[in-house]
Amino acid sequence: MLKNYITIAFRNLFRHKAYSAINIAGLAIGIAACLLILQYVAFELSYDDFHVKNERIYRIKQDRYNKGQLSTEWAAGPFAAANSFKEAFPEIEDYVKLVRAEQQVVDKGGEPYKIEKVYYASGSFFKVFSFPLLAGDPKTVLAEPHSMAISETQAKALFGSANPIGKTLNLNNKEAFKITGVFKDIPNNSHLKTDVLLSYATFLTYFKDGSPETAWQWDGCLSYLLLRQGTDPLKLQSKFPSVVDKLAGAEHKQYNSSATYTLQPLKDIHLYSHYMMEAEANGDGKTVYLLLGIAFFIVVIAWVNYINLATARAVTRAKEVGIRKVVGSERKQLVFQFLLESALLNIMAVVIAILLMIAIIPLFNQLSGQHLTLTLFTKGYFWLTFISLLLLGILFSGIYPAFVLSGFKPIKVLKGKITSTAEGAFLRKSLVVFQFAISLFLLIGTFTVFNQIQYMRKQALGLTIDQTLVVNGPLVRNDSTFKNQMESFKQELLQNTSIKGVAASTTVPGQPVNWNAGGIRLIGQGEGEGKQYRVIGVDYGFMDVYGLKLIAGRTFSKDHGTDPKAVIFNKKAIEQLGFTKPQEAIGKQIEFWGETYTVVGVTENFHQQSLREAYEPLIIRLIPESRDYFSIRINSDQAASSITLVKAKWDRFFPGNTFEHFFLDQHFNDQYKADQRFGHVFTFFSLLAILVACLGLFGLASFTTIQRTKEIGIRKVLGASVIGILRLLYKEFAYLLIISFIISIPVAWYASNEWLQSYAFRVDIHWSYFAFPFIIVLLIALLTVSYQSLKAALSNPVNSLRTE
């Protein structure tokens, strides 16, 4: 019987090639899309799962409050937290401290070689985290001052095949560090990536007057705790306030501030942590699970196609079922037969889906910015998911048609009394509505994402970033002569007509301002009135180079000898200071870390970062020797020659440094890459969903048209026009799409509105975001059914009336 079932299955498959091709293509595309998304989701969810102790590792998150209001959320908190908690609570087995170091330059064969990702790390780093050491003892590798561990890639780049252990590197021509370890390159699915680790013991030697180990008001330390087996993190976390109050309570009361400390599971950091001083830009959990939902819906649409076409074609299989029942087939045998047919179809689709996925992975990587490979096929969880998806597909797409087909009464069938039922037609129409409601939802979401990205990129920033070349500041320098070198560098550049302006600063637009200053208040106010601000250090040319708009006061000027003690606030900052009008703040003096500064100007708010972020209270402080970045305004038609000129001057004034530059407009727009990639991925899978839905619609329309062949012939004989017949055939599907549209509107509006809430500056949801997707899907759907509809409408009615 099994052989007979397989023979019949293949016979039906080849007899109805069009329907088979539609079913297989729809299922293959749906499964391929689902597998692609599952691979992406699996990668995102795999972050930090390679650490053996990952379930016991937690990062300390800090929330700072001013007068009871949350002011900042920090990934990198106070230096005193980890060691203080370890001393107070036996539940903590160990801890790791990480402090971001400046980039380093070393000599490589007479040429400067730059190392970008550098951290100071405490001695337990390799004991707590499972980053394999290729050379060195994890217990001692970072124990001593001026010791360091380097990655495998850096070891090969600097020493080739030679053993680097015991060798010395001179960093930034200042300090010599001994290499005591080499670690395997950190995998992509780690929230923490580094090329070089310097011992935290070295960092402590920089402080002669006081140790960071007791500092609760100094932020910038990433602190990780390893909890003992069986420790409840929430219970442990609830004990932190008593220690904080004991060690830092007096300082908090002095400034009318407070801080709370919570434990972030290591596994949650990548998808759910977006705070100040993150180790790197993290992912988005909402996006991951949204794509997982899309994967589910696409494959469900493909299964729905199968159900629709199988049940629609039930009448053509009725006689076969009747004869089988007459000769003794039981219903369970028929159910098994039709499930076997579903299995064969799904297996064929799965094979094609795998080939499709292999072919599409490069395109998907380009769209998503990921680096997915075929290594997924070596993972046990993939095959478990794969087999589960196949079995679910067989059951989901095959069970209902199997029971419908096996339920025909043989007497009625053999008398030719089986026709399509109202219940069956209703089911098919409902499934079509379901398919296109999902497709419209996805397309409306695509329009929303696209318009939000366009909105952010086209909005005025409040500053000028075009034609601005930014050069990373020198790392190798003589601090005693640096100020003179910098001034000479700028003056020689300005002598060239292709250079419009030069400025130095501690940060540039497109980057977060990591200088966070607390306790700032007006002279005369109590210490409890102090608040937190972000601070940008600039030289005299910064305001002009970036075209910042002054709404009160003046800019910095060398004509004012008091300007080293002057500051400029943005509008948001003077509002936080307590002024409603910018002019009121001019001339006021503030307390800034024990020194007195005068407010000489107020700028209009400007977007330091992308429009995802709200305006922050900014203080622009004059620091002429700022060295982190040089911003150079150039003539756009002389870009190449300007870069050559700048590099020549750079090599002259800052020898031994790498020349690294970027154009600021491109750098600023890089902030939107993640949003753009999400938009591309969303659009890609939305189009796939529509394609799969339209494949099913094409098959259903073809079958429906064939079923109505005789009706069409009679109507033509009675004088119906081609347009009238087309209207008749189109009308039914148009109604279904309208119902789909009505269903999708509230769901899409809610989802789009929720997604937009993560942006401080966002578009208003416009009616066109709904109308255009509906028109697009309607046109696609009508074009999909047009082939069979036109063929039927133009056919000879005589041939139609002969059709049985």
Considering 362-371, 781-790, 795-804, the range whose residues carry the highest mean pLDDT is 362-371
Instruction: List, in order, residues 6 or more apart from 106 with CB less than 8 Å away.
Output: 112, 113, 115, 158, 169, 170, 171
Point out the least confidently predicted range of 164-173, 314-323, 658-667, 753-762.
314-323
Please answer whether residues 302 and 435 qualify as being in contact, where contact means their C-beta atoms are separated by less than 8 angstroms. no
Q: Same domain for 400 and 375?
A: yes
Q: Same domain for 559 and 650?
A: yes
Residue 157, pLDDT above cutoff 90: yes
Q: Same domain for 394 and 482?
A: no
pLDDT in tens, 215-250: 998 889 999 999 999 999 999 999 999 999 999 988
Q: Same domain for 484 and 555?
A: yes
pLDDT in tens, 551-578: 999 999 988 877 889 999 999 999 999 9
* Separation between Cα atoms, residue 451 and residue 679, nearest integer Å: 10
pLDDT for the residue 425:
67
Please answer whether residues 220 and 76 qualify as being in contact, where contact means their C-beta atoms are separated by less than 8 angstroms. yes
Which string of DSSP letters, residue by residue, matches 608-627?
SS-TTSPP--EEEEE-TT--
Would you state the structure tokens that stand for residue 595, as one six-digit string?
């020194």
Point out the least confidently predicted range of 26-40, 238-252, 596-610.
26-40
pLDDT for the residue 205:
93
Q: Same domain for 28 and 82?
A: no
* Separation between Cα atoms, residue 135 and residue 163, nearest integer Å: 9
Q: Among 197, 231, 265, where does a domain finish?
A: 231
Would you state the structure tokens that stand for residue 136, as one six-digit string?
């060195």
Instruction: List, in order, residues 6 or more apart from 631 with CB less than 8 Å away.
Output: 468, 469, 470, 502, 503, 504, 505, 508, 542, 545, 546, 664
User: Could you tell me the residue range of the domain that residue 190 belongs to?
Assistant: 76-231
Query: Which residues are registered as beta bridge partners of 621?
Result: 537, 567
Residue 507 lies in a domain: yes
Q: Phi and psi for 415 in degrees, rounded to 5? A: -90, 0
3-state secondary structure 519-547: EEEECCCCHHHCEEEEEEEECCCHHHHCC
Would you state the structure tokens that stand for residue 204, as one six-digit string?
């402590």
Nearest by Cα to 224 from 94, 91, 100: 94
Largest CA distance in the chain: 108
Residue 263 lies in a domain: no
Distances from the Cα of 768 to the Cα of 451, 594, 690, 756, 777, angstroms: 11, 56, 19, 17, 14
- Show the CA angle centred on residue 345, arms to residues 342 and 347, nearest 5°: 105
pLDDT for the residue 496:
92
pLDDT in tens, 63-77: 988 877 888 899 999
Mean pLDDT of 526-541: 90
Would you state the structure tokens that stand for residue 406, as one six-digit string?
């096996």
Provide the number of structural domains found in the chain. 3
pLDDT in tens, 331-358: 777 777 777 777 888 888 888 988 888 8
Tokens 């200088």 belong to: 515
User: What is the 8-class DSSP label of residue 655?
Assistant: T
Residue 478 lies in a domain: yes
Would you state the structure tokens that stand for residue 311, as one six-digit string?
């049940």
Instruction: List, in order, residues 6 or more apart from 422 with CB less than 8 Å away.
Output: none
Instruction: List, in order, residues 6 or more apart from 681 with CB less than 8 Å away.
Output: 40, 291, 364, 367, 368
Residue 32 lies in a domain: yes
Q: How confident is the model at residue 798 (pLDDT cuts 50, 70, 90)?
A: low
Q: Same domain for 84 and 30?
A: no
Residue 687 lies in a domain: yes
Report the percent of the chain where pLDDT is more than 90.
50
Residue 786 lies in a domain: yes
Q: How confident is the model at residue 643 (pLDDT cuts 50, 70, 90)?
A: very high
Which string of DSSP letters, residue by residue, matches 457-517?
HHS--SS--TTEEEEEPPSS--HHHHHHHHHHHHHHHHTSTTEEEEEEES--TTS----EE
Pairing of strands 175-183, 147-151: parallel
User: What is the 8-class DSSP label of residue 419?
Assistant: -
Would you state the structure tokens that stand for residue 488, as one six-digit string?
């000479």
Rg (CA), the chain: 34
Residue 545, pLDDT above cutoff 90: yes
Tokens 């982190």 belong to: 628
Q: Same domain for 153 and 226?
A: yes
Tell me the residue type at 622.
L
Considering 323-327, 349-353, 582-586, the range whose residues carry the highest mean pLDDT is 582-586
Distances from the Cα of 595 to the Cα of 513, 532, 592, 598, angstroms: 21, 16, 5, 10
- The number of beta carbons lying within 10 Å of the beta carbon of residue 594 is 6
Q: Same domain for 37 and 110?
A: no
Point out the least confidently predicted range of 160-164, 288-292, 316-320.
316-320
Helix (H) or strand (E) holding 770: helix 768-794
Q: Provide the mean pLDDT of the chain.
A: 87
Please answer whether residues 9 and 342 qualify as being in contact, where contact means their C-beta atoms are separated by less than 8 angstroms. no
Residue 250 lies in a domain: no
pLDDT in tens, 693-751: 887 777 777 667 666 667 777 777 777 777 877 777 778 788 888 999 999 999 999 99
Q: Among 231, 254, 274, where does a domain finish?
A: 231
Q: Same domain for 15 and 127?
A: no
- The number of beta carbons lying within 10 Å of the beta carbon of residue 674 is 18
Would you state the structure tokens that stand for residue 706, as one six-digit string?
């064939």
Instruction: List, in order, residues 6 or more apart from 110 with CB less than 8 Å away.
Output: none
* Separation between Cα atoms, residue 228 and residue 290, nearest integer Å: 35
Report the percent of the chain where pLDDT is more than 70.
90
Q: Phi and psi for 52 in degrees, rounded to 5? A: -60, -40
* Separation between Cα atoms, residue 115 and residue 105, nearest integer Å: 6
Residue 431, pLDDT above cutoff 60: yes
* Separation between Cα atoms, residue 319 and residue 409, nearest integer Å: 10
Q: How confident is the model at residue 799 (pLDDT cuts 50, 70, 90)?
A: low
Mean pLDDT of 469-488: 90
Nearest by Cα to 67 from 212, 256, 195: 256
Nearest by Cα to 206 from 216, 194, 198: 198
End-to-end CA distance of the chain: 31
Distances from the Cα of 123 to the Cα of 56, 99, 120, 265, 684, angstroms: 18, 13, 10, 21, 47
Helix (H) or strand (E) holding 91: none
Residue 404, pLDDT above cutoff 70: no
Residue 271 lies in a domain: no
Would you state the structure tokens that stand for residue 4, as one six-digit string?
């007979």
Residue 410, pLDDT above cutoff 70: no
Q: How confident is the model at residue 319 (pLDDT cuts 50, 70, 90)?
A: low
* Separation between Cα atoms, residue 388 and residue 393, nearest integer Å: 8
Q: Same domain for 103 and 40?
A: no
Query: Which residues are registered as beta bridge partners of 344?
Result: none
pLDDT for the residue 707:
66
pLDDT for the residue 231:
96
Q: Same domain for 556 and 585?
A: yes
Instruction: List, in order, residues 6 or more apart from 167 with CB less than 8 Å away.
Output: 159, 178, 179
* Separation between Cα atoms, residue 801 and residue 407, nearest integer Å: 31
558-592 burial by CB neighbour count: b if 16+ within 10 A, else e? eeeeebebbbbbbbbbbbbbebeebeebbebebbb
Residue 574 CA from chain centroid, whole number: 34
Which string of DSSP letters, residue by residue, matches 269-298?
HHHH---BT-SS----HHHHHHHHHHHHHH
pLDDT for the residue 415:
53
Tokens 């942006």 belong to: 759
3-class secondary-structure state, position 622: strand
Q: How confident is the model at residue 328 (pLDDT cuts 50, 70, 90)?
A: low
Q: Among 656, 687, 713, where does a domain finish?
A: 656
pLDDT in tens, 19-33: 778 888 888 888 888
Q: Same domain for 408 and 297?
A: yes
Which string of DSSP letters, residue by residue, matches 347-366?
HHHHHHHHHHHHHHHHHHHH
- Show the CA angle centred on residue 336, arms to residues 335 and 337, nearest 5°: 90
Tokens 């401080």 belong to: 760
Instruction: List, in order, residues 6 or more apart from 727 with CB less than 8 Å away.
Output: none
Q: How confident is the model at residue 421 (pLDDT cuts 50, 70, 90)?
A: low
